[in-house]
Amino acid sequence: VVMTPKTICGGAGATRKMLIQSIPGIDRVIENDLINGLAQGLDLAAINGAGGVVPLGILQTSGLAKSAAGTNGGVPIWANIVELESLVATGNADVENMSYVMTAGVKGLLKTAEKASGTAQFIMGETDVLNGYKALVTESMPKDGTKGTHTVADLHSILFGDFSQLLVAFWGGLDIKPDEITNIKR
């Protein structure tokens, strides 16, 4: 894997008066907002970054096994979930740290979709476990996919894998610096 440095930045505005008069310290609120923004940016890039000026994300990496819920997309069924596990196992990558990553919308669908018609057994139960593995939710997963001739704002993805193997390198640390001179807005 070839890694090259990328830059992510954010900004927040605060007046001197806000900084002096706020209780609790507005500076801590701003720092937390900036750190949360950085975390969301990293999440987006790791999952679906296009490469080039941003990191290459998992969904944009070539050579990974993929499963589709139909030619033009569709609501996941139990067979799709089992197929994801089978695809990973076929690549000799089935390990204990596996988990699913999905949007809240997909989680909702899986909690209301039966494994088989008329069984009252749902693909995903009340716990955050899917097919025996941890199920994680993030809104950093894309919701505007294209599959076959289907392109809509509600075509979601599900990832299954060992995310402890995801590499994110940092060149330097996190710098939070006030801009007291230029008042630049980014």
| pLDDT value, residue 185 | 55
Is the CB of residue 32 less than 8 Å from the CB of residue 109? no
Per residue in 23-66, pLDDT (tens digit) is 767 888 888 888 899 999 999 999 999 988 888 999 888 888 87
Separation between Cα atoms, residue 93 and residue 33, nearest integer Å: 36
Question: For the segment 121-162, what is each residue's pLDDT rounded down to a tens digit?
Answer: 899 988 889 999 999 999 888 877 666 666 655 677 889 998
CA dist list (Å): 21 to 13, 18, 27, 30, 104: 15, 5, 11, 14, 39
In angstroms, rounded to a whole number, what is the distance separating the alpha carbons of residues 47 and 60? 8
Beta-carbon count within 10 A of 98 CB: 20
Q: If 0-12 CB within 10 Å is exposed, 13-18 middle and 19+ buried, where does residue 87 land?
A: middle
Q: What is the pTM of this model?
A: 0.79
The one-character DSSP state at 129 is: E
Give me the pLDDT at residue 3, please.
84
